[in-house]
Structure 1
């Protein structure tokens, strides 16, 4: 159940404000009794919610009286305060990330084999996104038919996000896909491709009916291979990510003739 505490008020502050809505203009002493806020705390609580602009005070009266601001106005003010606080925190986190990006430097990659795996569609695409984001030099993406487990619209937009970021980093991108996959892509992906990617010299898309599997080749040393579910045709079981320059070279050698024979994408 929603509470004023969810918007930043303390228990005593929430009690005091709610009680003021019931009592109308009242003194601190009367409000203490009505709200069960101890008399020793009531003035601090009133000063606090006054700073939130949730109450107005009548300073000319003796004793001083307080009245609650209307709930719609009070809630708008609390919401604005929380949004401002979140924006400030976001700015702080972005500054921290900028500082750490300069400080955290990975060592040069060790020339040895390493592999990892992800199981299921969600973890598969999380791993693929991570590896696309790590590319420094080149990406070769080969994509076959979509599976029923994939939201083509969401995945298509996310993949374009990663590819655009890679291109902005100076990474070259070649995409080879089965023609049937092109027909499955939403119009929004096609529009984005035409507007922002098609004219780039470091980006190319071709189609071929001979594409039957899906994998990504990263920086000529790493391969992400999607593994189909052996018990359910058309579904993804997971992805194997293998860092092995020799194997990656063999995969690229198999890719090159397919790429040469493929047709440039026309939408």
Structure 2
């Protein structure tokens, strides 16, 4: 086991983690969740450096933060960590990336079958956040790589939607890869009208715009709406909160930019099962009771 752990440390360093960052991440994997002070003692990272190290691990998407007093930190799974780091590596170095993926898979298998790591805890509220377009896309790529069953997504439609869809083409490529092997995808769109009744003309305009969005998704983003695994619906009225669900076990809340409503300014990942289940029930309620195909 010692050799496997040493190999894991060296591999993480290959993916541009420092010795302090490697020690912190692995100790969090072993201990489930810790305060910064406890982690500093276990990982031999000086207290004067521990917060800088943890902040970078959070920025990389390898560690999630639990907002209690004192703050507690938890490492994401090895599979998700490898994916997050390799995506960054792939962006910087296009060559030789396949070899690293194979090495990551071998290490993940060795660690998983070794009983080195404890089983993950249940019913704890951990969350991580991302600000700006690149960190948000990186967050989504990481979560999409972990999907096993399905994705439930929400979006809003306005005059900028087609342009925004074109800018996140890479994410839809990830859905295409996911759908080639398993699962289902549902997208629920909404317009920004309030609860007042719309005229027939307004409803017809909305339907026309929605059909155009469907065409963009199918032709421009190559996500076939003819497949039974892909569904899209819409609502005339705005949704109070926008979120996406991964395997009905993880949620990402999307916060709109108040100064530029066509943009998402930040995303927050929620892992607490009880909270996620509330989002699942709300999505299903809207999908089956209010949404229009």
TM-score bucket of the superposed structures, by smaller chain = 0.5 to 0.7
**Counterpart-to-counterpart distance in 2, 1:128 and 1:146:** 22
Partner of 1:128: 140
8 Å CA contact 1:142–1:211 kept in 2: the answer is no
Per-residue CA deviations over 1:113-172 (Å, capped at 9, x if unaligned) read 2100011222122212221221122211011136969743131x2232122222234222
Per-residue CA deviations over 1:6-51 (Å, capped at 9, x if unaligned) read xxxxxxxxxxxxxxxxxxxxxxxxxxxxxxxxxxxxxxxxxxxxxx
Partner of 2:224: 197
| Structural mapping, 1:4-153, within 5 Å | 89=96, 92-93=99-100, 95-97=102-104, 99-100=106-107, 102-103=109-110, 105=112, 109-111=120-122, 112-145=124-157, 151-153=164-166
Partner of 1:214: 242
Structure 2, unmatched stretches of 5+, are 1-92, 192-205
Structure 1 residue 99, shift from structure 2 partner: 3.8
TM-score between both structures, scaled by the size of structure 2:
0.50
**Counterpart-to-counterpart distance in 2, 1:147 and 1:126:** 25
8 Å CA contact 2:137–2:171 kept in 1: the answer is no
8 Å CA contact 1:137–1:219 kept in 2: the answer is yes
TM-score between both structures, scaled by the size of structure 1:
0.54
Larger Rg: 1
Per-residue CA deviations over 1:213-249 (Å, capped at 9, x if unaligned) read 4311112221101112345544432011111111111
Structure 1 residue 210, shift from structure 2 partner: 2.6
Structure 1, unmatched stretches of 5+, are 1-85
